[in-house]
Structure 1
Amino acid sequence: MDQDKSNIGGEVLKLQLKRETGIPLYIQVQNLIKELIKNGVWLPGSKIPTERSLAQQLNVSRNTISMAFRDLEHQGLLVCHQGRGTFVAESDEVVRLESRKERLLRIIDMAMEEATTLGFSIDDFMAITHVRAREKRDILSKVNIILIECNREQVDFFAQELAHSVGVIIHPILIGDLESHPEKFREIIRKADIVITTLFHLQTVKDIVGDVGTEIISIALSPLLDSIVRIARIPNNAHVGIFCLSNNFAEKMIASLRSAGINHLQYSIFLSPAEKEVLLAQIESVDYIITSPGRKQELMNHTKKEVVEFIYSPDQASTNLLRAALMELKEKNLKK
């Protein structure tokens, strides 16, 4: 256990990070920051210590602090201002922590109140919003969006996840296919309304497709915390089987785990669906199982061992950026 009395936010506090629990350090840092905010040590709007300062005080890497800050910003607890530093979110920003349904209901209530002040009845409000929602649904159903990624597991899963998040149909393209047949896909991309790719592949995609006149949006992806926490709790030196469709996914997953400070496991990689006898032998040869989304059900059907699904998900800022682009596209289409 690491214990340190540090000056944080003008207060001398006893800080604790427990390395032996198996819980990633950046999650422990998040919990510590939440406690400081909850207990009023860090007040809404106040500037908090820098990543470098916290890293030194807690005896962890800056990358650990950076990951904690990033996730807390996505949760709405922290606000990062370029060149100014990181601040505790103001009360109106903390409202974002409420459930999506509660937030939506509040927005609807405010809209209804505004409508009544303008002289509309509740029935008028229902009719107008119904028509408007139907218009948006019809427009979005005609939007042509392409997602470009490097491996089959991610490109298919992301297409489904983003489609669910923003309410549109997304067509996936593998970056390897794009590199092999640039002319074919350049024409497809030219006809698209929006192209989505990851920050890592943004420049590659731009270099291949050139100036086709289609907006290209880059998104940031990160592993779900639940996946990280479950894997972090696997005992030291355990033999872990990674079941996926491509080496690319496996290598990226291992790199993500190491970045999160998970370095205590031994891995074997098993690619593509296998014959039942081969699959059973692979399962039997390992202590724990991690799988990409595309192979989860296959494994669940053949073992009672715990199967940890490793999922990369777009962060909230990326999803919001895509929604904003779609809304802008919608407004253009409504004016046509």
Structure 2
Amino acid sequence: MSSPITRKSGTPLYIQVKESVLAEIKRGEWKAGDKLPTERELSVKLKVSRNTVSQAYQELEAEGILSSVQGRGTFVCDRDNAVRLENRKELLLKIIDVAMEEGMQLSFTLEEFVELTALRAKEKIDLLRQVRVVFIECNREQVEYFAKRLQTDSGVSITPLVLDDFRQDVGRWQPTVASSDLVITTFFHYDEVKELLGVRKNVLAIALDPQIETIVRIARIPAGKKIGLVCKSDNFAGKVLLALKNAGIDNLAIEVFASLSSQAPITEILSQLDVVICSPGRRREVEQYAHRRQEIIEFVYKPDVASINLLRAALIDLRRQ
């Protein structure tokens, strides 16, 4: 690849990899239908981590540039036929048109079609509200934030469970887990969660990645700024620092402030910082005591596109059984 990867540029490595892949496609080096190097091959060639290449590929797949096929690899999409995010509405309308035509061939009127589809959608919504899900993760910030977002978006009842709490008192949490329809965890903890459950239970592993906007904002922090990471646990802080390192952001001195118990320390700490990176669980507190000139960056993790689609399908399938 002709576009060099520069670690000290201030631009996250995975964005540089993404732009390099796009440049190759625009130059015609890789055409529609061409198979790209594997994540491992490209990471070796560019001398970056495999996770960096994976993030770049996921972004390009979400934008309709690339398409991954299980067991075969990653390919360049036909741009004229690619299903891009901005065309989802158009695609859905085509699906509805086909359904209407088939309904009319079955002698249903358009009014009956509208009535039946509205009824079916309501049934699905009601069914989702009956689904009970447990989300198990290793740090409290992540598990609480994700559970709240998922519950708001889908109406599904989510019980957040910190992995350490589950380890220390399996007996207490076992009834909650056993009565749930689905257990969600991350790929990193999947094997341990399965072992802790000790019963046959639906467990779905998802990938949680840092939000792109968060990484970009941190990468753009000018040199010399005093930066602090304010969160609830050392576990979360460690994940943030590792994520920044994997993105190639290793030129910033970030001081960690976790598990602060009173207002006085956080007020004193914030007064010494130019930029505050905070976990979702501490954002409101940080905003309350920060001074006006400080930049506040909330460090948010979110499921990747494939995980979101997999989760949606799993929730719908639960009530078909």
TM over 0.5: same fold?
Answer: yes
Amino acid at match of 1:232: A
Does 2:252 match 1:279? no
Aligned to 1:229: 216
Which amino acid in 2 is paired with 1:301?
Q
Aligned position for 2:58: 70
Cα distance between partner residues in 1 of 2:80 and 2:202 = 32
- The equivalent of 1:328 in structure 2 is 317
Q: Report the CA distance shift for 1:167/1:106 in structure 2 as closer, same or farther (over 3 A).
A: farther
Cα 1:84–1:214 change in 2 (3 A) is: closer
What is the CA-CA distance between 1:171 and the residue it aligns to? 1.2
- Matched AA of 1:296: R
Q: Residue 256 of structure 2 corresponds to which residue in structure 1?
A: 269
CA contact (8 A) 1:239 1:265 kept: no
Say whether residues 1:22 and 2:35 are aligned partners.
Answer: no
Q: Which residue of 2 aligns with 1:204?
A: 192
- In structure 2, the CA distance between the partners of 1:51 and 1:320, relative to structure 1 (3 Å rule), is closer
State how far apart, in whole Å, the 2-side matches of 1:313 and 1:15 are.
Answer: 29
Q: Taking CA–CA contacts closer than 8 Å with sequence separation of 6 or more, which of the two structures ends up with the larger relative contact order?
A: 2
The one of 161, 171, 175 equivalent to 1:183 is 171
- Give the whole-Å Cα distance in 2 for the aligned partners of 1:50 and 1:111: 39
Given candidates 244, 248, 272, the residue that maps to 1:257 is 244
Following the alignment from structure 1 to structure 2, what is the Cα–Cα distance between the partners of residues 114 and 192? Answer: 38
- Distance change >3 Å, CA 176–CA 49, structure 1 → 2: closer
- CA shift digits 1:174-220 (9 cap, x unpaired): 11111121112112211111111111111221222202x32111111
Indicate the SS of the match to 1:125: helix
Alpha-carbon distance change, 144 to 55 in structure 1, aligned in 2, over 3 angstroms = closer
Q: Quote how far apart the aligned CAs of 1:79 are.
A: 2.5
- Is contact 2:151–2:157 with CA below 8 Å preserved after alignment? yes
**1:124 and 2:117 equivalent?**
no
Which stretch shows the higher mean deviation, 24-33 or 70-79? 70-79
How far apart are residue 58 of structure 1 and its match?
A: 4.9
Percent of matched pairs sharing the same residue: 44
Partner letter of residue 306 of structure 1? E
Corresponding residue for residue 220 of structure 1: 207
Partner of 1:246: 233
TM-score, normalized by length of structure 2?
0.89
Structure 1: segments with no counterpart, 5+ residues = 1-5, 7-13
Please report the RMSD computed on the Cα atoms of aligned residues, expressed in angstroms: 2.5
Q: Quickly say closer, same or farther: Cα 1:56–1:246, change in 2 above 3 A.
A: closer
Q: Which residue of 2 aligns with 1:114?
A: 102
Tell me whether 49-58 or 202-211 shows the greater mean CA deviation: 49-58
Residue 118 of structure 1 and its aligned partner are, at CA, apart by 3.0
Write the deviation string for residues 225-266 of structure 1: whole angstroms up to 9, x where unpaired. 111111111133543111111111011111111111111111
1:314 shift after superposition: 1.0
* Aligned partner letter, 2:273: V
